[in-house]
């Protein structure tokens, strides 16, 4: 009887051990399934991000860190640019200066396309991103934040009035700058009047300069009334 009792006890112990190991395997399988699902979700999010997202994120973090150091320097009554230069040696400062000139060299006026591109790069460089607002919008809009193929963006975004005023100031500043550096030509009373204001007159002159030789015959036919 004692032998049979010991056999039953050992069988129950083995059975309990097997059940415990089976429960542990179930728990580990569920944990692995959850981790795999999280990895799939994160990978899907990374795939939906722009190709240069990591570089842009590092740049934004550097800008925020630089702005924080600048505020601390201003609170202490220090010139941040001077303090920053004191922390690097002359060779590094020279290398950064060469890199800055190479990145956006001032080659003077070449054409309107390059002037517009330089203005755009300057305005973008002066923009300071609000990463907290960015994160709030991304969490609020979810997948619609990146504007997929079938996403309806109308009504999802609200324009920031501060940024609109800043954009308006930049436009006015650009117009005033162009007016300051534009040389006023002598008015010719005998010239044909084919414009409604001074800005339209300049635009027509540009068209004439680039396309005049190709449209001379068409213009003459229109004036004679013999155009087909």
Q: What is the pLDDT of residue 141?
A: 78
Q: What is the pLDDT of residue 179?
A: 72
- Here the tokens at position 112 are 């309107």
Q: What is the pLDDT of residue 107?
A: 58
Long-range contacts: 40-48, Cβ < 8 Å, 24+? 48/143, 48/146, 48/148
What are the helix and strand counts (H, E) for the chain? 8, 0
Q: Which residues of the chain have pLDDT under 70?
A: 1-9, 100-111, 147-155, 180-190, 226-228
Q: What is the pLDDT of residue 110?
A: 61
Q: What is the pLDDT of residue 197?
A: 87
Integer Cα distance of 144 and 154 in angstroms:
11
Q: What is the pLDDT of residue 102?
A: 64
DSSP-assigned letter for residue 184: P
pTM above 0.85, yes or no: no
- Here the tokens at position 164 are 């609109």
Query: Helical H runs in 49-195?
Result: 53-75, 80-86, 90-103, 112-126, 131-141, 161-181
Q: What is the pLDDT of residue 171?
A: 85
Q: What is the pLDDT of residue 186?
A: 57
Measured CA to CA in angstroms, residue 186 lies from 26, 126, 164, 177 at distances of 90, 38, 38, 21
Say what the alpha-carbon torsion angle 31, 35, 40, 42 is, to the nearest 10 degrees: 150
Angle at 180 between CA 100 and CA 187, to 5 degrees: 135
Contact 158, 87 (CB under 8 A): no
Q: What is the pLDDT of residue 104?
A: 57
DSSP-assigned letter for residue 168: H
| 138 Cβ contact list (under 8 Å, min separation 6) | 145
């Amino acid at each position: 009887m004692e032998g049979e009792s010991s056999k039953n006890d050992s069988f129950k112990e083995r059975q309990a051990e097997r059940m415990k190991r089976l429960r542990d395997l179930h728990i580990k399988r569920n944990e692995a399934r959850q981790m795999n699902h999280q990895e799939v979700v994160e990978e899907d999010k990374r795939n939906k991000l722009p190709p240069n997202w990591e570089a842009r994120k590092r740049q934004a973090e550097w800008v925020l860190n630089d702005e924080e150091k600048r505020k601390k320097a201003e609170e202490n009554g220090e010139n941040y640019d001077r303090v920053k230069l004191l922390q690097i040696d002359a060779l590094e400062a020279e290398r950064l200066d060469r890199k800055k000139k190479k990145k956006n060299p001032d080659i003077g006026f070449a054409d309107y396309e390059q002037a517009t591109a330089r203005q755009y790069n300057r305005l973008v460089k002066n923009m300071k991103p609000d990463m907290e607002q960015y994160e709030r919008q991304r969490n609020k809009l979810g997948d619609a934040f990146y504007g997929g193929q079938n996403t309806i963006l109308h009504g999802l975004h609200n324009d920031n009035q501060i940024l609109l005023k800043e954009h308006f100031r930049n436009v006015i500043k650009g117009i005033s700058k162009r007016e300051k550096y534009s040389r006023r030509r002598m008015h010719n009373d005998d010239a044909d009047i084919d414009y409604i204001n001074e800005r339209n007159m300049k635009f027509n002159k540009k068209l004439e300069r680039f396309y005049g030789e190709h449209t001379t015959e068409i213009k003459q036919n229109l004036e004679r009334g013999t155009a087909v």
